């Protein structure tokens, strides 16, 4: 398969922070294409279960996985066309590249802008596997992120506590400072969601300049690409069908309890210190940082219990790891922290 992609760009950030919005914006550029989330990198490449890893050595097993996959069919690419160029034992990275090359060829585009929140967790590996790639790290107020995440349809059947969402936000955010300057230099580009929706043209122009591509007016009409970015079943991405929502921030001020705000701010206290020029603690949150606040007692108790569990638990087996979410498999592999 010929190489169509001349430039790789990866969008990452916390869920509900605007990664899909950026995809739709770049999909409107004459050089760029941004496929819908296929989850190939977390399910086959960087956080694969042992069965998925083993399938790379067995063509029949791999084809069966690809045919039954929940997300890959969004790309509308026949697995047989990919497997023609994939040999048993080839790397999972090659599998991902083959799918992306096939998608870019069909769209006749040379810049692949691949977007998924997970990408921010893969920064260390993306640097190794995609030489010269760019990272677009979109950052949003964690209080709005947590609130939006808990409301999203994909969480309706999942018990995902506020504390866990805030902790994952904090962990994902830190990947930027940990690996951005170290591995990417000027190819690590941080964008603030609030700037994107309130000053869209200026923010998009700045991104294009950093990526060395020209700004195009069509990028402001991102909603025209919503169907290419969001799958039919992803109802939580409905805002992609609307123009920039210029007031879609600080919703937490009126829609979140003081107790929840304090807990998020405490869990993400390092974020607020590092981003104090952009985000400010609430008055109650500022008080909580100075002493043992009543709303933080459950967090301290949970932290103590977590420490005890860590002391008495051994290394997880392959079977145990396979049952963990991708995020926890990445953490166990040490991908989320600097060496």
Closest CA to 248 of 194, 169, 192: 194
Instruction: Please tell me the chain's helix, strand, coil percentages from 3-state DSSP, rounded to the nearest 5.
Output: 60, 5, 35
Report yes or no on 225 lying in a domain. yes
Burial group, residue 7, by CB count within 10 angstroms (0-12, 13-18, 19+): middle
Answer for the pair 118, 42: CB distance below 8 angstroms, yes or no.
Answer: yes
Report yes or no on 194 lying in a domain. yes
Report yes or no on 299 lying in a domain. no
Report yes or no on 259 lying in a domain. no
Answer for the pair 129, 1: CB distance below 8 angstroms, yes or no.
Answer: no
Residue 217 pLDDT more than 80? yes
Answer for the pair 271, 170: CB distance below 8 angstroms, yes or no.
Answer: yes
Report yes or no on 35 lying in a domain. yes
What's the pLDDT score for residue 153? 58
* Cα radius of gyration (the chain): 21
Other Cβ atoms closer than 10 A to 160 = 13
pLDDT in tens, 48-92: 888 898 999 999 999 999 999 999 999 999 999 999 999 988 999
Average pLDDT for the chain = 88
The strands making up 188-192's β-sheet, listed across from edge to edge, are: 32-33, 111-115, 7-12, 134-139, 188-192
pLDDT in tens, 149-159: 988 755 555 56
pLDDT in tens, 105-150: 999 999 999 999 999 999 999 999 999 999 999 999 999 999 999 8
Q: Indicate the pTM of the whole model.
A: 0.89
* Domain harbouring 216, CATH code: 3.40.50.300
Answer for the pair 78, 51: CB distance below 8 angstroms, yes or no.
Answer: no
The total number of structural domains that make up the chain = 1
Distance of CA 215 to the CA centre of its chain: 24
Distance in angstroms (rounded) separating the CA atoms of residues 247 and 273: 25
Answer for the pair 27, 228: CB distance below 8 angstroms, yes or no.
Answer: yes
Residue 159 lies in domain:
7-251
Report yes or no on 274 lying in a domain. no
Report yes or no on 317 lying in a domain. no
Report yes or no on 120 lying in a domain. yes
């Amino acid at each position: 398969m010929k190489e169509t992609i001349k430039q790789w760009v990866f969008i990452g950030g916390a869920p509900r922070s605007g990664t899909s919005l950026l995809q739709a914006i770049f999909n409107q550029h004459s050089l760029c294409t941004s496929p819908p989330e296929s989850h190939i990198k977390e399910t086959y490449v960087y956080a694969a279960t042992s069965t998925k890893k083993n399938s790379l050595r067995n063509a029949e097993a791999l084809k069966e996985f690809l045919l039954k996959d929940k997300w890959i069919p969004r790309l509308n690419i026949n697995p047989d066309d990919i497997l023609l160029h994939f040999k048993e034992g080839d790397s999972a990275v090659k599998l991902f590249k083959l799918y992306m090359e096939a998608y870019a060829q069909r769209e006749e585009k040379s810049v692949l802008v691949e977007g998924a929140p997970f990408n921010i967790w893969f920064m260390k590996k993306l640097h190794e596997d995609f030489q010269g790639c760019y990272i677009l790290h979109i950052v949003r107020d964690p209080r709005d992120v947590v609130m939006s995440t808990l409301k999203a349809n994909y969480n309706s059947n999942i018990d995902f506590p506020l504390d866990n969402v805030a902790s994952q936000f904090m962990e994902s955010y830190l990947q930027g400072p940990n690996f951005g300057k170290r591995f990417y230099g000027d190819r690590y580009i941080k964008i603030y969601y609030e700037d994107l929706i309130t000053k869209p043209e200026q923010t998009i122009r700045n991104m294009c300049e950093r990526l060395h591509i020209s700004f195009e007016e069509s990028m402001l009409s991102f909603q025209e690409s919503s169907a290419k970015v969001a799958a039919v079943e992803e109802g939580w991405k409905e805002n992609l069908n609307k123009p920039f929502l210029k007031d879609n921030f600080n919703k937490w001020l009126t829609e979140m309890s003081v107790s929840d705000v304090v807990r998020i701010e405490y869990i993400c206290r390092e974020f607020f210190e590092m981003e104090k020029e952009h985000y400010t603690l609430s008055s109650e949150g500022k008080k909580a940082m100075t002493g043992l606040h009543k709303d933080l007692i459950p967090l301290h108790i949970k932290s103590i219990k977590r420490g005890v569990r860590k002391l008495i638990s051994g290394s997880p087996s392959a079977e145990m790891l396979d049952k963990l979410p991708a995020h926890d498999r990445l953490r166990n592999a040490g991908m989320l922290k600097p060496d």
